[in-house]
Amino acid sequence: MASSAVAPLPSHRNALASLQSAAVFAKTRSDGRLRSDRFILFHHGAASRWLVGRSPKPPIAKFWFQGKESGRGEVVRILPLRSQFEFPDGVQRLARKIVAAIAAALFCFGAGISAASVDGRLSSLETYSCEDVAGYYAGLEGLDGAALMRRLSAVVSAHRSLTYKEVWDALKILDAADPSDPEHSSDVIEIYSLRAVSKTLAGKSEGWNREHLWPRSYGLIDKPSLTDLHNLRPADVNINSSRGNKYYGECVSESNVCLRPANREAAPDTEADSKKWAPPFQVRGDVARSLMYMAVSYGMYQPGEGPHLKLSDSPNIKNREMGLLSTLLKWNEFDPPSKAEKLRNERVCRLYQHNRNPFIDHPEYANLIWKQTQSRSLLTYKSSMAWINEFHYDNKGKDENEFVEIMADPSIDATKLMLLLYNGSTGKVYKSLMLGDSKAFAVTDHASRFSIYTAFVPLQNGPRDGMALVSLADDNQPKVIQFLSYEGTLTPTDGPARGIESVDVNLQETEASGPHDSLGLIETASGEPKWAQFKGTATPGKPNVGQRL
């Protein structure tokens, strides 16, 4: 690897010139994870200043100035002293002590170094990362959807990774019962019981352990994601075991299998059923924002290979999809960040990881990223002129009677509506049908109020297959007005729905289904539409059983 010459020190820091050798760096396109096993002095060219931080191992890290990379796609590789110069261990230890001392000196000179510490631990990276929140999110104004998620991922994904022991120590500070004096507070607050429990009971069967809000089984495959403090909270051992890897959501009101509280030792306003878990009202927003952070920091835009986590309303361990997204969005709005949550975010950044949870600083980012997709996908027949109303895609033996039914206002020009069928495995369109094509769709009328278009067409059996209803404007530019899927969500790589996340109907057919089964829309008692499963009562070309139009 070729190394470049080190930029000269600013004139008022010439006294540090003897440490230039510790700052040799080169540019590379590789990515890696931060480690904390050695200090190093490095020069940030764009910032025109020297910074003291913990070097990565493998020695790769992204460094930011005013919330932006020092160069487009640039990654700076820091060469550890030993790998470059083969210093003896004693000299190397001395060099580390010198660099640590220089860090303190630079702090006194106003060099932009934070020397805040907890339990004697040095926490040093650029102060703007933790103190200048506006600078941290610079350049994100006006973005939404995938563009905002991509940029946020670049901002938060590069951070210091902790060891498991460091996590135990950090939680004793971050979740201390007395946040004003966390080092001397003898207790921590458990996330699901909200009880104060002694720090000394950490890891004991009668005490508390480290709860992964985003469960490990949903895609946490390496140390950065496993030890990320934004996703970890103290939890009672017994309650943590009860939660297991349930996704977050609320019990259906008419359910008779809902437990309230979720565990006899949990807070009284918790609830759970066989699949879902709801924490206390006081921390529901906290939990939602933690999961949103994980979906951004370790999501589809994470540099290099990673878990590529995802939020959806169709949680799926295999696909690393956690949820329920719609419930988390609601919790984010109803339980805004408290002073305690903001303080915790600040301390995670300043003292440990040197990155922030953007959804605590900007809760509105959640709707900008995820509700944009929902607004384009969750169109109901009460607010739309056309919608997908019923379909059948799988049954026992040879597939029979597979169809898609679309309802539309009679005033709509059918030649301007198109149905696209998407393959979840490839993300590509496998068939497209124009509603105005009489060979593809049979048309019936319902009391002159709606036209019903039915296409008997083979459908993929899942998982994550979908269908998009697309409108062609006067200029023939396609606009997705509804995008549904079954057996999981997908984000297509081509066609009009490219980059849009589908909305799963949360129901599925199987090889045990009958040829006259289907999935279709009905109305709830409150008049809201929802998807239902019809056993032997499919009605292609007619309104669904129980559907009031």
Tens-digit pLDDT profile for residues 354-390: 999 999 999 999 999 997 444 444 443 334 578 999 9
User: 253: how many CB neighbours lie within 10 A of its CB?
Assistant: 6
Q: What does residue 341 show for φ and ψ, rounded to 5 degrees?
A: -70, -40
Single out the residue of 216, 174, 221, 224 nearest to residue 56, CA to CA. Answer: 224
Q: Grade residue 478 by pLDDT with cuts at 50, 70 and 90.
A: confident
31/153 Cα distance (integer angstroms)? 14
Q: In the numeric block, which tokens belong to residue 200?
A: 């000394």
DSSP 8-state assignment for residue 426: T
Between the alpha carbon of residue 12 and those of residues 107, 115, 155, 262, 279, the distances in Å are 14, 20, 31, 61, 54
If you average pLDDT over residues 512-535, what whole number do you get?
Answer: 85
Tens-digit pLDDT profile for residues 304-351: 677 889 999 889 999 899 999 989 998 998 899 999 999 999 999 999
13/109 Cα distance (integer angstroms)? 9
* Domain ranges, ordered by start, for the chain: 11-131, 144-370, 378-534
pLDDT at 377: 41
190/206 Cα distance (integer angstroms)? 13
Q: In the numeric block, which tokens belong to residue 257?
A: 């299998």
322/215 Cα distance (integer angstroms)? 9
Query: Quick one: 217 exposed, middle or buried, by C-beta within 10 A (0-12, 13-18, 19+)?
Result: exposed
Q: Is the separation of the CB atoms in 509 and 496 below 8 Å?
A: no
Q: Please, what is the angle between helix 145-156 and helix 284-297, to 10°?
A: 90
Residues 84, 89, 91: CA angle, nearest 5 degrees: 80
Q: Does the structure show a pLDDT above 80 at 458?
A: yes
Tens-digit pLDDT profile for residues 5-47: 333 323 323 323 323 322 222 222 233 333 333 333 333 333 3
pLDDT at 472: 80
172/188 Cα distance (integer angstroms)? 6
CATH H-level, domain 378-534: superfamily: Immunoglobulins (2.60.40.10)
Tens-digit pLDDT profile for residues 107-127: 333 333 233 333 333 333 333
Mean pLDDT of the chain: 76
Burial 53-91 (b: 16+ CB within 10 A, else e): bbbbbebbbbbbbebebbeeeebbbbbbbeeeeeeeeee
Counting DSSP H helices and E strands in the chain, the numbers are 14, 29
Tens-digit pLDDT profile for residues 61-86: 333 222 333 333 333 323 233 223 33
Q: How many whole angstroms from its chain centre is CA 534? A: 34
Q: Is the separation of the CB atoms in 312 and 247 below 8 Å?
A: no
For residue 82, the surrounding DSSP H or E stretch is helix 81-85
If you average pLDDT over residues 277-301, what whole number do you get?
Answer: 96
pLDDT at 240: 96
Token match 């949820």: residue? 323
350/155 Cα distance (integer angstroms)? 15
Largest CA distance in the chain: 89
Q: How many whole angstroms from its chain centre is CA 349? A: 18
pTM of the model: 0.54
Q: Does the structure show a pLDDT above 80 at 140?
A: yes
Contacting residues for 301 by C-beta, under 8 A, at least 6 apart: 149, 150, 153, 154
